[in-house]
């Protein structure tokens, strides 16, 4: 049952073929055996999970079940969970127990989903490899010496390792799509404002967006139906009805116009990845989609713009970690300055401090116009770029990542090399568009992701397209081999 | 564009991030390479382009002026590093 | 050398909303520390702000009251700095696009002249918490109840030239905000605080001198004193050949001096940028128009009406209109006694004087308007003299009852009964035949002597006007 998709598990629960308690117990057992090899979790909550599973079974017995009632999930440790540590992968919050639940958590609780624990991530979601976590790196279940991508690397690895059929993630510059691609699973970053940010610890507020990660697009549809909502507690939440995504997956994709940006297939892309992506596009074409080449001429400027805007917002979002109200505090501060300086020196890791410094610089007197303002202007130009392209086509398709998952530590000393890995995902966040990655092949035993980008609030179109593709392919059903003996 | 350790020191002070000489040196290198990356923007003509702060160009919603948050001091201060008599404690504040 | 003083004021007004500007926590004053600081106010991870509609409405009311441009699109920004009373490490404020743009207000000075002071802008922002400096084993305590309270910061042009103008400007702002009911204006509780920017320059010089900012002055009196001593300090420095250093200073009322704030020594770089957790606030003409139509009568209009309706002097009218409470009280007194000028006099001189002497706020005034009106009526109908009225007023203030009851109890009624007075006069004349003869012989000055004797005989209760008439008739024989 653990290698089944969430959709299949949901059906099995509905038919009474398995109980939530059985399913949850099985997951706990598997996690106990294999987690030391993967390190997908920061905190496991087996007792809470079993209690939730029992409650879910009772609810189902009363005939009050939702599709996700009793489904074991894992939550990125960036979503606040009442009573359970929310660390954001940082020493700064190692002792932080949120006094409230994120809206996303509340919504899963409300339908009776089970939470197995909190998954690993790059510290404060700043990274593309889950190596910067205070709790050690997560390993890619496909090859344990490889990174799972990031920042939602723990979530992606958990699904690939069959530690959970579905998980929550967040995506500020590719943090759902890139690890989904690296771990051979599916993940969607919805339109900015579609999923509430309340209780989701901020990195770059105008870019952050929560979304589901799972094996199939059908799974994503079920999860997104729950996650997406209008939330009065989040000023940037959008008040628009949430479609029943899982009901719309069978629509035909005939005549759907798919654009391939030539910039997404140029220099820097591993040609073996290009081949897999082109093959996937071919499949879509045979299913009736119309393929066109398009251009997104500002693609190369998305990374520079992002690495001003995201760190600038982060630099002030992270000012609240000062050792006064919560979180880490240095020992015996001799005065206020000492309290601030040492608390933040000790509590934050290198990459987080680097981004705070860059962001502080970009906002500082004399540099604001040249950096922050300029980047926000670029942002509008990039948005306009997409708008023009989405006049010509319905969906944009391309690779999710330029390269395969790298070996642990390979890019740790060179932040810029790491940043460039987000070449194809970052612009989507700047524009606020929905983007998705689905498995589309393997190179040297490592998964490759196809990225699909849609227009604002057109998540349905992406999910349907992905689902139709997954009816014709089985990349998303491949499983890595993890043995209890450890190592690989 | 490169940032000298002295400049990094100033920025680190603004950001209240303690750093020793070795760290300053390391930041100086990595921040300079990041600036090289982002400086590509300077070549773009953005004249007359309105900066985009929110991707949807949405506007603010208003909240009714009704008390919804009761006293939660005990719970909120349970995660605080140092409190006394309901106050958060910090090293002496000098005005 | 002749010096000219240049003053600009930044007034922070706490808006009288039920809840914080960005959270649903209560803003009530005087609660136990941190019992009104919710997760949002504390800046806990994952929390987000949502803007309070009432803070917006109150800011727009103020803007309309000073005939300012209303920002149809206003934007919140983050002002970044570290301080323990600032939980998020930034203050949400408005930088480039404030809710209220250029406006103005007219102040009236003691000599009756008036002057227009420009208002540069007024913007919405969140208040910070408080550091309590009493010793907790060498630590300071932080109370964040006030954090997130909505503030309207009203920034004046550097149009103010002396302390009196500054105080008049502040009183005018105070009048407007209390008329509108957008703030309780209670300076003692910090509902209205003032930062004073001061510089001096040789008379005739066009460019401004270097200014210093005196932070958080919290009474009209202290504003006046702080300006006096800061101006003197600056002039002394310049005349001694020194230079003014631009800095933030604090006024110490105990020592009556200003001193540099150590905590602000390091030059700040606030790194303003648009707050990404909030979106631009857009309002339309209909919204503004609806507020405009509901504006109450404002101080200027009330002053005009008091002058025309009650024939008051502009100065009296301005004094009475300085607060809505006072103006309303005055009008109630008038309706009780029908004597506007007497009412103005009694309210401005006797009542305010008495309140001032006993350091009592008008809101705690023990004399009701009806009672004061009754007292004025008793003067008007001749029951008591003006002098006696003051005695009655004292007693009323001490809570001894209504004017009539006090007059009765103290036996203060004037004797206007001609029969009783004639008998008194006859007796006095018969006891003082020599004075009568002298008066009749042309010594007019003796008239006062007879009046004095009658007042003495009546124990001061004789109605002087009646006594005058009777005496004149009788002495002429």
Q: What is the mean pLDDT of residues C161-172?
A: 95
Neighbours of chain C (3+ CB pairs under 8 A): A, B
* C-chain residue closest to A200, CA distance: C46
The CA distance from C268 to the nearest CA of chain A, in Å, is 10
Backbone phi, then psi, for B62, in 5-degree steps? -110, 150
Q: What distance lies between CA C144 and its chain's CA centroid?
A: 28
pLDDT over 70, % of chain C: 99
Q: Are A23 and A72 in contact (CB under 8 A)?
A: yes
Answer yes or no: is pLDDT of C408 > 90.
no
The CA distance from B81 to the nearest CA of chain A, in Å, is 6
Query: How many structural domains comprise chain A?
Result: 1
Count CB neighbours of C419 within 10 A: 7
Query: DSSP string spanning C94-135?
Result: -SSS-SB-SEEEEEE-TTS-EEEEEEEEEEEEEPP-EEEEEE
The residue ranges of every structural domain in chain B are 5-42
Distances in whole angstroms, Cα of residue C187 to Cα of each of A50, C17, C93, C229, C360? 57, 17, 22, 21, 14
Query: DSSP string spanning A247-263?
Result: GSTTS--TT-EEEEEGG
In a domain, A399, yes or no: yes
Note the pLDDT tens digit of each residue in B30-58. 999 999 999 999 999 999 999 999 999 89
* C-chain residue closest to A362, CA distance: C271
Question: Cβ separation of B41 and A305 shorter than 8 Å?
Answer: yes
Tell me the residues of chain A between 198 and 257 that have a Cβ less than 8 Å away from chain B.
206, 232, 235-236, 238-239
Kindly list the residues from chain A whose CB atom is less than 8 angstroms away from the CB atom of residue B61.
232, 235, 239
**Distance between CA atoms of C74 and C288, rounded to whole angstroms?**
14
**Distance between CA atoms of A280 and A274, rounded to whole angstroms?**
10
Query: DSSP string spanning C420-442?
Result: HHHHHHHHHHHH-HHHHHHHHTT
**Distance between CA atoms of C274 and C297, rounded to whole angstroms?**
37
Q: What is the four-CA torsion angle of C102, C108, C111, C113, rounded to 10 degrees?
A: 50
Quick one: which of A118, A181, A127, A186 has its CA closest to A151?
A: A127
In a domain, A332, yes or no: no
Tokens of C26: 């209560």
Task: Using CB atoms, pick whichever of A80, A206, A360 lies closest to residue C46.
Answer: A80
Task: Using CB atoms, pick whichever of A238, A353, A415 lies closest to residue B58.
Answer: A238
Tokens of C472: 């004149």
Mutation pick from C48, C128, C268 vs chain A, by most beta carbons of A within 10 Å, is C48
Kindly list the residues from chain B whose CB atom is less than 8 angstroms away from the CB atom of residue C148.
none
Q: Are B91 and A338 in contact (CB under 8 A)?
A: yes
Low-confidence residues in chain A, pLDDT < 70 = 485-488
Kindly list the residues from chain B whose CB atom is less than 8 angstroms away from the CB atom of residue A353.
17, 19, 27
Note the pLDDT tens digit of each residue in C33-51. 999 999 999 999 999 999 9
Q: Which residue segment(s) compose the domain that A36 sits in?
A: 6-260+391-477
Checking ipTM against 0.90, whether it exceeds it is: yes
Answer yes or no: is pLDDT of C296 > 60.
yes
In a domain, A361, yes or no: no
**Distance between CA atoms of A142 and A162, rounded to whole angstroms?**
12
* A-chain residue closest to B95, CA distance: A336
* C-chain residue closest to A372, CA distance: C273
Catalytic sites of A, residue numbers = 76, 151, 175
Can you give the CATH number for the domain in which A67 is found?
3.90.1300.10
In a domain, A25, yes or no: yes
Does C47 reach chain A within 8 Å, measured CB to CB? yes
The radius of gyration computed from the CA coordinates of chain C, to the nearest angstrom, equals 30
Task: Using CB atoms, pick whichever of B15, B33, B60 lies closest to residue A356.
Answer: B15
Question: Cβ separation of C136 and B77 shorter than 8 Å?
Answer: no
Mutation pick from A377, A390, A412, A433 vs chain B, by most beta carbons of B within 10 Å, is A377
- Residue with token string 């440790």: A77
The CA distance from A93 to the nearest CA of chain C, in Å, is 9
pLDDT over 90, % of chain C: 72
In a domain, A369, yes or no: no
Q: What is the mean pLDDT of residues C58-71?
A: 97
Q: Are C145 and C34 in contact (CB under 8 A)?
A: yes
Specify the DSSP class assigned to residue C346: I
The pLDDT of residue C149: 98
Tell me the residues of chain A between 97 and 116 that have a Cβ less than 8 Å away from chain B.
97, 99
Note the pLDDT tens digit of each residue in C225-276. 999 999 999 999 999 999 999 999 999 999 999 999 865 555 679 999 999 9
Note the pLDDT tens digit of each residue in C98-137. 999 999 999 988 887 899 999 999 999 999 999 987 777 7
Q: What is the mean pLDDT of residues C308-332?
A: 92
Task: Using CB atoms, pick whichever of A323, A324, A416 lies closest to residue B37.
Answer: A416
The CA distance from B66 to the nearest CA of chain A, in Å, is 14
Question: Cβ separation of C279 and B91 shorter than 8 Å?
Answer: no
Kindly list the residues from chain C whose CB atom is less than 8 angstroms away from the CB atom of residue A88.
45
Does A348 reach chain B within 8 Å, measured CB to CB? yes
* B-chain residue closest to C76, CA distance: B60
Note the pLDDT tens digit of each residue in B55-74. 998 999 999 999 999 999 99
Q: Yes or no: is domain B5-42 CATH 3.30.70?
A: no
């Amino acid at each position: 049952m653990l290698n089944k998709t969430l959709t299949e598990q949901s059906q099995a629960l509905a038919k009474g073929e398995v109980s939530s308690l059985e399913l949850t117990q099985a997951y706990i057992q598997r996690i106990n055996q294999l987690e030391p090899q993967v390190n997908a979790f920061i905190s496991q909550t087996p007792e809470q999970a079993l209690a939730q599973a029992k409650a879910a079974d009772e609810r189902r017995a009363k005939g009050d079940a939702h599709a996700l009632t009793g489904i074991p999930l894992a939550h990125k440790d960036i979503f606040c969970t009442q009573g359970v540590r929310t660390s954001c992968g940082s020493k700064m919050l190692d002792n932080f127990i949120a006094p409230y639940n994120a809206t996303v958590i509340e919504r899963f609780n409300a339908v009776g989903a089970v939470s197995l624990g909190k998954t690993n991530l790059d510290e404060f979601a700043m990274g593309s490899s889950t190596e910067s976590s205070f709790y050690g790196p997560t390993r890619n279940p496909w090859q344990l010496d490889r990174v799972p991508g990031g920042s939602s690397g723990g979530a992606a690895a958990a699904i690939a390792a069959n530690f959970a059929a579905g998980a929550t993630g967040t995506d500020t510059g590719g943090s759902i799509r890139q690890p989904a691609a690296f771990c051979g699973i599916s993940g969607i970053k919805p339109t900015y404002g579609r999923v509430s940010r309340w209780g989701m610890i901020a990195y770059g507020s105008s870019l952050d967006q929560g979304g589901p990660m799972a094996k199939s697009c059908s799974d994503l549809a079920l999860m997104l139906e729950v996650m997406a909502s209008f939330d009065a507690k989040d000023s940037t939440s959008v008040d628009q009805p949430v479609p029943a995504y899982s009901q719309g997956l069978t629509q035909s994709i005939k005549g759907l116009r798919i654009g391939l940006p030539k910039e997404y297939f140029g220099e820097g892309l591993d040609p073996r990845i290009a081949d897999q992506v082109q093959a996937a596009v071919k499949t879509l074409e045979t299913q009736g989609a119309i393929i066109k080449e398009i251009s997104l001429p500002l693609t190369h400027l998305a990374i520079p713009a992002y690495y001003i805007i995201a760190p600038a917002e982060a630099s002030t979002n992270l000012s609240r970690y000062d050792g006064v109200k919560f979180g880490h505090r240095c020992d015996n501060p001799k005065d206020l300055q000492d309290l601030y300086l040492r608390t933040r020196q000790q509590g934050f890791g290198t990459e987080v401090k680097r981004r705070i410094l860059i962001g502080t610089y970009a906002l500082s007197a004399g540099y604001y116009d040249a950096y922050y303002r300029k980047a926000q202007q670029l942002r509008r130009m990039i948005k306009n770029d997409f708008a023009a392209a989405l006049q010509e086509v319905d969906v944009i398709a391309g690779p999710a990542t330029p390269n395969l998952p790298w070996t642990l530590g390979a890019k740790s000393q060179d932040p810029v090399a790491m940043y460039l890995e987000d070449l194809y995902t970052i612009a989507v966040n700047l524009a606020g568009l929905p983007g998705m990655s689905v498995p589309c092949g393997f190179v040297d035993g490592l998964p490759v992701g196809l990225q699909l980008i849609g227009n604002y609030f057109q998540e349905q179109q992406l999910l349907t397209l992905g689902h139709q593709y997954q009816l014709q392919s089985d990349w998303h059903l491949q499983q890595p081999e993890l043995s209890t003996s450890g190592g690989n | 564009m490169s940032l000298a350790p002295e400049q990094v020191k100033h920025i680190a002070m603004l950001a209240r991030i303690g750093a020793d000489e070795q760290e300053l040196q390391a930041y100086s290198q990595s921040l300079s390479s990041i600036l090289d990356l982002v400086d590509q923007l300077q070549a773009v003509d953005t004249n007359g382009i309105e900066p985009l702060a929110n991707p949807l160009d949405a506007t603010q919603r208003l909240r009714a002026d009704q008390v919804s948050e009761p006293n939660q001091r005990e719970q909120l201060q349970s995660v605080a590093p140092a409190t006394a008599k309901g106050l958060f404690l910090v090293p002496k504040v000098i005005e | 050398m002749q010096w000219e003083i240049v003053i600009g004021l930044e007034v922070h007004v706490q808006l009288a909303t039920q809840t914080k500007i960005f959270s649903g926590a209560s803003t009530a004053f005087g609660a136990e520390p941190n019992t009104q600081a919710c997760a949002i106010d504390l800046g806990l991870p994952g929390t987000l702000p949502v803007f309070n509609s009432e803070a917006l409405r109150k800011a727009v009311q103020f803007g309309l009251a000073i005939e300012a441009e209303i920002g149809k699109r206003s934007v919140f920004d983050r002002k970044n700095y570290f301080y323990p009373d600032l939980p998020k490490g930034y203050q949400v404020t408005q930088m480039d696009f404030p809710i209220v743009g250029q406006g103005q207000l007219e102040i009236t000075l003691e000599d009756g002249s008036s002057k227009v002071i420009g208002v540069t802008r007024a913007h919405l922002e969140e208040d910070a918490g408080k550091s309590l400096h009493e010793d907790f084993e060498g630590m300071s305590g932080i109370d964040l109840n006030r954090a997130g309270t909505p503030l309207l910061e009203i920034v004046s042009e550097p149009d103010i030239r002396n302390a009196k103008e500054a105080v008049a400007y502040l009183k005018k702002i105070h009048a407007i905000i209390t008329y509108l009911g957008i703030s309780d204006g209670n300076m003692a509780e910090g509902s209205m605080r003032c930062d004073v920017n001061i510089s001096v320059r040789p008379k005739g010089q066009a460019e401004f001198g270097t200014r210093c900012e005196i932070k958080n002055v919290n009474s009209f009196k202290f504003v006046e004193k702080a300006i006096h001593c800061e101006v003197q300090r600056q002039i002394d420095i310049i005349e001694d050949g020194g230079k003014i250093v631009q800095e933030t200073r604090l006024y110490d009322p105990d020592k009556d001096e200003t001193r540099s704030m150590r905590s602000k020594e390091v030059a700040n770089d606030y790194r303003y940028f648009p707050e990404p957790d909030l979106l631009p606030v857009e309002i339309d003409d209909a919204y503004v128009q609806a507020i405009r139509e509901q504006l109450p009568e404002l101080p200027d209009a009330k002053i005009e009406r008091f002058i025309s309706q009650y024939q008051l002097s502009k100065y009296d009218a301005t004094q009475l209109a300085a607060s809505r409470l006072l103006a309303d009280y005055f009008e109630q007194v008038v309706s009780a006694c029908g004597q506007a000028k007497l009412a103005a006099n009694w309210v401005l001189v006797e009542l305010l004087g008495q309140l001032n002497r006993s350091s009592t706020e008008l809101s705690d005034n023990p004399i009701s308007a009806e009672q004061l009106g009754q007292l004025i009526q008793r003067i008007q109908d001749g029951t008591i003299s003006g002098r006696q009225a003051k005695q009655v007023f004292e007693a009323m203030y001490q809570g001894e009852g209504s004017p009539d009851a006090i007059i009765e109890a103290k036996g203060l009624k004037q004797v206007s009964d001609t029969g009783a007075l004639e008998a008194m006069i006859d007796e006095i004349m018969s006891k003082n035949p020599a004075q009568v003869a002298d008066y009749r012989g042309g010594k007019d000055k003796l008239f006062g002597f007879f009046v004095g004797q009658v007042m003495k005989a009546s124990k001061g209760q004789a109605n002087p006007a009646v006594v005058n008439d009777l005496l004149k008739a009788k002495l002429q024989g």
